Amino acid sequence: MSQFENTFENVLKKAEQEYSDFLDDLKGQGFEEIIGRTYEILTKQEFLAVLQNCSGTDLIGLRNTDRPLERLFQDWLERDEDYRGLLEESAGHYLRNAAMAGLKKAKQCKNTHSEPER
């Protein structure tokens, strides 16, 4: 096994255990606490999926970290405003396209329901 494969397996194993422990700890919390941490749950789940698709060389920076998901999550929180910009951009893109489609449909309906020329 290469050094990079070993790094991949070690980091991934730590991340999977961390996520499992994180969920187990949450199970002992109240409903409101769990709901309040939904963003963290989903984000860490996404990070775990990202790590599973990385190579050993990609994970070298996490090899000395006991809690790789927490490290990634904290870094993400520092950049969260970038995510907000992506959400706004995505929503704006959809809304513009939906508005154009709505206008096009309204124009088609108007043309099909107009009175014949005399």
Residue 32 in tokens: 């409101």
Mean pLDDT of 51-58: 83
Question: Which candidate, 72, 46, 45, 78, places its Cα nearest to that of 59?
Answer: 72
Contact, 48 vs 19, CB < 8 A?
Answer: yes
pLDDT beyond 70 at 86: yes
Residue 117 or residue 85, greater confidence:
85
Tokens 């809304």 sit at which residue?
Answer: 95
- Per-residue confidence (pLDDT) for residue 69, from 0 to 100: 95
Determine the Cα–Cα distance for residues 85 and 90; give it in Å rounded to an integer. Answer: 9
pTM: 0.68
For the chain, the structural domain boundaries read 3-112
Confidence of residue 115 (pLDDT cuts 50, 70, 90): low
Cα of 31 vs its chain's centroid, Å: 23
- Per-residue confidence (pLDDT) for residue 31, from 0 to 100: 92
Question: Which candidate, 98, 20, 113, 3, places its Cα nearest to that of 59?
Answer: 3
% the chain with pLDDT above 70 = 89
% the chain with pLDDT above 90 = 44
